[in-house]
Amino acid sequence: MSTELESMWDAMKGVHYQRTIEQLERSIRNTKRLEEALTAALDTVVEVVHAQAGTFWFYDQFGDGRIRPKAVFGGGDLKGFSLLPGEGIAGKVIQTGRPEIISDCQKDPRWAGKADAKTGFRTESMICVPLSLKQIVFGCIQVINRTDKMLFDERDLAFLEQLAEATADLFRKQGLLDDYLAGVDLGELKGTAEVSFMEIFGAEDEQELERQLRKVEAFSGLRVGEQNDVLRLARQMWTCFGGRRGRRRNPWNR
């Protein structure tokens, strides 16, 4: 591509991106709830990247640790559906914080296929990019199958990454992520409190175990995937120490 054509292409991309951001701003300006904003933004994103379907996945990191579809465009009904971090493409993107572009999902070993099995929709190609603020991944945008039957390419991926960053920032400016970010700021994720071994493994249930662990400062410095590995190990130890599923031996109650 000549220098002149490259300059023209870059200018066209810049105009397209700016118009898309303006469209996103208009679509969520009057929304009061995060779910409404996600739905409005998803409609815009799917349209501008020429996709058949799309999903906004939200990671309930401070709750039960599951990933749920908060907005769905096309692709069938995902009500009641959820993933764990690392499960499927959306789960892997949220776990690692890295985007994925897949040309043939049916042949890709990373693809779980659970959503297609539930809805009957056939996923062929896909882009999935993380949604994050303050370096914390709180979800991802997934777009599926181009409407023109072409494959998604690196330009589509780069554009969707820009849109994901802008979307997260718009949600923040609208105050739609205040509750989530308050948890980060108050230390539920950053964890500055000193917590004893007994407080962690003496938890009454797994949710309390996770809450206590998230107060540990060293835990907050780990990546999402590393945090999940620590949580998994902690649950196994908690069970051995007499947790809800084990009750075999409890070192605190001899």
Domain end (from 155, 176, 197): 176
Collapse the DSSP code of 33 into the 3-class scheme (helix H, G, I; strand E, B; otherwise coil) and give the result.
coil
* pTM confidence score: 0.67
State whether 7 and 101 are in the same domain. yes
% of residues, the chain, pLDDT over 90: 16
Query: Could you tell me the pLDDT band of residue 15, with boundaries at 50, 70 and 90?
Result: low
Q: Provide the mean pLDDT of the chain.
A: 78
Query: Averaged over 207-233, what is the pLDDT?
Result: 73
What pairing do the DSSP bridges indicate for beta strands 67-73 and 100-102? unpaired
CATH of the domain at 55: 3.30.450.40
DSSP readout, 187-252? TTTT--S---HHHHHT-SSHHHHHHHHTTSHHHHTS-HHHHHHHHHHHHHHHHHTT-TTT-S--TT
The boundaries of the domain holding residue 214 are 187-240
Q: What gap in Å lies between CA 142 and CA 170, rounded to an integer? A: 18
> Residue 112 carries which DSSP code?
-
> pLDDT tens digit string along 137-190?
889 999 999 998 888 888 889 889 988 988 888 888 888 888 777 666 555 544
Residue 72 forms beta bridges with which residues?
55
State whether 149 and 104 are in the same domain. yes
Determine the distance from the C-alpha atom of residue 120 to the mean position of all C-alpha atoms in its chain, rounded to a whole number: 23
> pLDDT tens digit string along 35-75?
888 888 888 889 888 899 999 999 887 777 789 998 999 87
Residue 57 forms beta bridges with which residues?
69, 140
Per-residue confidence (pLDDT) for residue 100, from 0 to 100: 94
Query: Averaged over 94-103, what is the pLDDT?
Result: 92
